[in-house]
Structure 1
């Protein structure tokens, strides 16, 4: 019986389709395009979202491509799959697609459209016309625009977005009703399904995304302080370059007053820990704080920064940041390979290799993993798609993960873009011992193979290595490689494109990552997610930093100097009534906990004791440890990354109860404070007065002299004690547990 009914239904459908094709077209029955008219409706109502039929295996046997990135697949799913049961041209109103969407038939997603609504009528017309895939002369959607891309609102004010779609035949449509909207911070600004922006009650700023059929535009929304600041507030502020000009310009627009600059001791501690990951010694602190009166404060700060940048600790400190991002699990790729990789990274900083050269050597690495540490990248990442994901994120700030399976929902990158980019790594060849976890001790040689390709997973098409956007001057590399007789290495082409001064992403992601390390927050957060829907809080500043970095020849030390000598870097961390809620515009310094290795070394310096690390030479510092497989309860407690995680390894920057308990109760820390060869024992046995002892404790721990109240209290304790060593131990323990020690102000 069911078979007879199905054949009857298909016969009626075919007859109606023929009748429809032969019938005259009326004005109210103009041809309906699936891609231009129907897919936007499905997207607007969430039918192809990840929570509904857009998930990997669909919902209840009905699958659509996520957010409509594959029109061919979607048209087939709606009109032909399940023997065409979802549409019924003979009686469109009885089509399963419509009765489900209107909830006239049970539907897990509930009612999506109302009967007789504009969308309902459009779907009905399309089904009645035989559900065509395309119509004659159909244009293509090229872009969308907003009538306004920036708003300055008062608290609780509302404004409406208007989205216009532009097509290849120069026609336009108002698609505001069918666009999807998302605010990056609903607490600051919310946006409803109709594109109406609602400002919150407090000052702030955020971005609002409007998406229509995989085309995205962003509007920046600002809610300034209701009480503007006098112009004199900013006119009186000192400036030391473009950073200060651009930050203060925005703060003035927002009506936010910056915090006053810090004292010398705060700057000394801050810049020392930031640039070399080490506390100043007591002697260094005294020399700077009691410095020559012939030098201005600005001159002394500049001299200090120059000295720090030439210290040997600089290389180890900054190499650890990149080791976090690049180092693989030694049990996966081999202990020797990881050690060589770590040594290679550190040597780049010791040799002051320009950043573009560093990246170029890494991306194009060849040779033995036992001789060229950079080649370990390709021992760890063994497939083109793995390498492409890592390289694009670390060196371009472009996260291509989503585009591996479908069109990126918040960016312009498509599946085609992903596999064309991955094709750059298709010819990476390997000779030698492969991986055999948990023990992979063998040598492997990375070379450029004459074979290797990447295919599109849907079409099967062999991908040609293609950059994510326009590239220039690749012919010279191809000609050079061809004349050498060696196989053309697509990675050389990629490296040239990545490091070109025309590629803003390359410089921007690095200066943004560096800015985030020094200032407590990147101009873009996360620091390696430079997408249209995640705009920088100060786009002009990011662009200028990147420009200067390029013009300096990608000189990393010059970048650090530019940032640390700005007035903005000098801002205090104590908030003012004006900037207490600011977390985006650097009106104050954002406090952060010291990194695990820096804090461990600080404890060693304050206590004047050393820690023994496995697989490390005697007296090694925590910043020199080459793998997180070296046991250390302290480093693990304070957020050292786990190598089993997929790089880039994430550290948890927040303070935890476990960390506080460790500082208070660690037996190891207690032994270091009480060590007979440590600072406390030395001070207690010395001829120094209580005042001198207290000064040394404060200079060693906090890089400052004690206040009058602190000095009187501590001196009285030591003077009255029958066992002054015990009192000094207690003082040091209390100081190491103070937030001032573990938090960088």
Structure 2
């Protein structure tokens, strides 16, 4: 029996169950556990953080594992390393560990604890007990919980979090004081070291992370508008699908009124650029805007979406997004291999291959890199620990990179998880010349080897291929057997587990990625970082989209159609007083700059001139370029990935001064506007009236007719000019430089 005292209260620990209030103190003779009592103190005071002794080589000769992920290492570092000089059991108060922590000896980290504090007393008792690694019948920490994990606050209101640790012997402990807290957005809600959350002055929402040792919980905090909107506002809104129900339900809770529905010309331009990366032609715009095809507005929009999804440009446009995530540097893996890889990706979209089949082919790819482009994935990532984090990030939304060296700082993933998952790729074998950058021109064959294993870097244990989590059914990953003398390929079992309809993460990361492309922001950002500490802004919508994706047998086109025909997709990008501050809930359409290749092709279409790209057939479009090694100042300026960047490549979506200056001053753009074979020259030489010319300029550039004032102004300029070609060229140049052209509204 152990006695635990706090002030005048006495708590008795009996037969495996106890509850300790916040701020507890152990009795003087109670055994102190290094893992349960000492390590939490080191973590709470940031001693083992990345900026202190938890960095890769430690600090001033003293190294701890990052955030205490390796208790064995930390115990040795404190009690035995440096000849045990950090502790002095005969006189604990003179131990270097305590003298540094209290700043009684010079300490770069400053004073961490006070001599009369509970933490000091706990450390002193542990040292006096000869610094044991474990105590008798020591339980293990299994999980932590929050007393409350959802808050709705008014501006400037504060609330307190309370964290409870749960142990293997059914005991619990209030660890609020020793927990580390972090707000995802301090401007909305801040949190102090005691777990007190403080709402800001403006409406908003965010998540607050509470981390005790390697266990993490998240509290969601919402600050609604102070004046709720009448229910009639949302009852009157049209709804086209479950997407609208989920978004409007959230907006009603927050008291945010959505922007109105866009006109046909905005929808036509938006959906065309989103689905095929191409502006509508003048003829296509006229037909849609004039309603010559008949049918209701909803019917015409649905018909348009079907037509766009069947266009050949669809495959090139959407393959480009995946090329960013998969396509390596051709000078590293070989020009022919990358070209085959790019062709393979595009062919998947031309054939409308279901997403799960696309992923299975990639993950289990083998054969010649000159014949099966998918095998290039393994020519670039050549070791299990290189392939595993890429596969988990792209197809599960789980970023495992941190767990390669230590327990993930913001997630549950451990080194054990990382190397067990990596073991799926241990038997990937190679035949051929290998890599020889900067040329790497040879062929290589990827095959399943009879040998290969992955070992844990600390324990040396040989890892068994193991999925990152169990599926809801609890069924183990299906084992594969030898067929036709071929060795067992662990990747087949991995692909079955990943693409199972029970694996929600597989569907969620793809629908989130697609939603982010179409709506300007993912439900989770970054789009491939799905974790408890980075929750979705609308979890119910993410889950519903994933369910719909699975129900359609992972039809990518059906997913796109579901999103672009929703009422939420039709919101105007013009903010209202109610939603001007909303950045998370899709009460309006979030504006974004056109993708580099899309903008380049739009310039070509408006000017009616063609680009010339190296290593490409004549009249190729920017969306068809197979490698970022193809020179293009325009594409580089507008944010295509660096050719030396490892996939998955991220593009910076922000507009820059350099981009604006390029559109204004580029000699190449000026030559295309003034080309003798371009649209401006053809219009000037035609028999069209000034009004017809102005209409064509606006329809080709902005996919709309000009307003009355715009038409009058432009017509007067043309009619007053001695030579109308130069005026038409100047008008086109001005329109190409306007935000309406380069920003998708």
Do both share a fold (TM > 0.5)?
yes
1:346 aligns with 2:346: yes
Paired residues for 1:135-534 under 5 Å? 135-292=135-292, 294-470=294-470, 477-478=479-480, 481-534=481-534
- Match of 2:4? none
1:75 aligns with 2:75: yes
Paired residues for 1:657-676 under 5 Å? 657-676=657-676
- Match of 1:608? 608
Deviates more, 1:641-650 or 1:511-520: 641-650
CA apart distance, 1:482:
2.3
**Matched pairs, number:** 718
CA apart distance, 1:486:
1.3
- Match of 1:738? 738
CA apart distance, 1:610:
0.6
User: Whole-Å Cα distance in 1 between the matches of residues 483 and 333 of structure 2?
Assistant: 35
Deviations 1:481-524 (A, max 9, x none): 32432110010011011101111111000000000000000000
Kept in 1: contact 2:287–2:293 (CA 8 A): no
- Match of 1:597? 597
1:100 aligns with 2:100: yes
Kept in 1: contact 2:524–2:534 (CA 8 A): yes
CA apart distance, 1:126:
0.8
CA apart distance, 1:327:
0.4
User: Whole-Å Cα distance in 1 between the matches of residues 643 and 395 of structure 2?
Assistant: 20
Deviations 1:550-591 (A, max 9, x none): 110000000000000000000000000010010000000000
CA apart distance, 1:116:
1.6
CA apart distance, 1:257:
0.5
User: Whole-Å Cα distance in 2 between the matches of residues 209 and 291 of structure 1?
Assistant: 52
CA apart distance, 1:294:
4.8
Q: Is the partner of 2:445 in helix, strand or coil? A: strand
User: Whole-Å Cα distance in 1 between the matches of residues 117 and 692 of structure 2?
Assistant: 84
Kept in 1: contact 2:477–2:497 (CA 8 A): no
Q: TM-score, structure 2 length as denominator?
A: 0.96
User: Whole-Å Cα distance in 2 between the matches of residues 246 and 484 of structure 1?
Assistant: 51
Kept in 2: contact 1:327–1:643 (CA 8 A): no
Q: Is the partner of 1:211 in helix, strand or coil? A: strand
Deviations 1:137-160 (A, max 9, x none): 111000000001100000000000
1:625 aligns with 2:625: yes
1:31 aligns with 2:27: no
- Match of 2:88? 88
Deviations 1:343-367 (A, max 9, x none): 0000000000000000000010000
CA apart distance, 1:27:
4.6
C-alpha change, 1:475 and 1:622, in structure 2 (3 Å) is closer
1:701 aligns with 2:666: no
Q: Is the partner of 1:126 in helix, strand or coil? A: helix
Q: Is the partner of 1:445 in helix, strand or coil? A: strand
User: Whole-Å Cα distance in 1 between the matches of residues 547 and 100 of structure 2?
Assistant: 55
- Match of 2:20? none
User: Whole-Å Cα distance in 1 between the matches of residues 475 and 348 of structure 2?
Assistant: 27
CA apart distance, 1:433:
1.1
Q: Is the partner of 1:525 in helix, strand or coil? A: coil
Q: Is the partner of 1:271 in helix, strand or coil? A: helix
- Match of 2:44? 44
CA apart distance, 1:716:
0.3
CA apart distance, 1:647:
1.1
- Match of 1:537? 537
User: Whole-Å Cα distance in 2 between the matches of residues 258 and 460 of structure 1?
Assistant: 57
CA apart distance, 1:432:
0.5
Deviations 1:320-339 (A, max 9, x none): 00001100000001100000
User: Whole-Å Cα distance in 2 between the matches of residues 292 and 235 of structure 1?
Assistant: 33
- Match of 2:123? 123
CA apart distance, 1:285:
0.3
Deviations 1:425-477 (A, max 9, x none): 11000001110001010000000000011111111111111110115666754
Q: Is the partner of 2:482 in helix, strand or coil? A: helix
C-alpha change, 1:413 and 1:102, in structure 2 (3 Å) is same
Deviations 1:687-737 (A, max 9, x none): 100000000000000000000000000000011111000100000000000
Kept in 2: contact 1:474–1:493 (CA 8 A): no
Q: Is the partner of 2:166 in helix, strand or coil? A: strand
CA apart distance, 1:643:
2.3
User: Whole-Å Cα distance in 1 between the matches of residues 476 and 130 of structure 2?
Assistant: 49
Q: Is the partner of 1:398 in helix, strand or coil? A: coil
C-alpha change, 1:738 and 1:710, in structure 2 (3 Å) is same
Deviations 1:147-201 (A, max 9, x none): 0110000000000000000001111000000000000000000000000000001
Q: Is the partner of 1:166 in helix, strand or coil? A: strand
Kept in 1: contact 2:477–2:494 (CA 8 A): no
User: Whole-Å Cα distance in 2 between the matches of residues 718 and 737 of structure 1?
Assistant: 19
- Match of 1:717? 717
Deviations 1:672-700 (A, max 9, x none): 11111111111001110000000000000
Kept in 2: contact 1:643–1:649 (CA 8 A): no
- Match of 2:133? 133
User: Whole-Å Cα distance in 2 between the matches of residues 461 and 643 of structure 1?
Assistant: 38
Kept in 2: contact 1:397–1:530 (CA 8 A): yes
Deviations 1:52-77 (A, max 9, x none): 11011111111110000000111111
Paired residues for 1:633-644 under 5 Å? 633-644=633-644
User: Whole-Å Cα distance in 2 between the matches of residues 719 and 306 of structure 1?
Assistant: 42
User: Whole-Å Cα distance in 2 between the matches of residues 124 and 606 of structure 1?
Assistant: 76
User: Whole-Å Cα distance in 2 between the matches of residues 136 and 608 of structure 1?
Assistant: 81
Q: Is the partner of 1:323 in helix, strand or coil? A: helix
User: Whole-Å Cα distance in 2 between the matches of residues 368 and 646 of structure 1?
Assistant: 22
Structure 1: give runs of 5+ residues left out of the alignment: 1-25
User: Whole-Å Cα distance in 1 between the matches of residues 255 and 75 of structure 2?
Assistant: 52
CA apart distance, 1:264:
0.3
- Match of 1:645? 645
Kept in 1: contact 2:319–2:345 (CA 8 A): yes
Q: Is the partner of 1:484 in helix, strand or coil? A: coil
User: Whole-Å Cα distance in 1 between the matches of residues 478 and 29 of structure 2?
Assistant: 57
C-alpha change, 1:473 and 1:30, in structure 2 (3 Å) is closer
C-alpha change, 1:685 and 1:293, in structure 2 (3 Å) is closer
Q: Is the partner of 2:28 in helix, strand or coil? A: helix
User: Whole-Å Cα distance in 2 between the matches of residues 151 and 293 of structure 1?
Assistant: 51
Q: Is the partner of 1:206 in helix, strand or coil? A: strand
C-alpha change, 1:32 and 1:475, in structure 2 (3 Å) is closer
1 or 2, which has the higher helix percentage?
1
- Match of 1:17? none
Kept in 2: contact 1:420–1:464 (CA 8 A): yes
Deviations 1:63-117 (A, max 9, x none): 1100000001111111111111111111111111111101111111110000021
- Match of 1:4? none
Deviations 1:222-275 (A, max 9, x none): 001111111111010000111000000000000001000100000000000000
Kept in 1: contact 2:146–2:162 (CA 8 A): yes
CA apart distance, 1:28:
3.2
- Match of 2:66? 66
CA apart distance, 1:661:
0.6
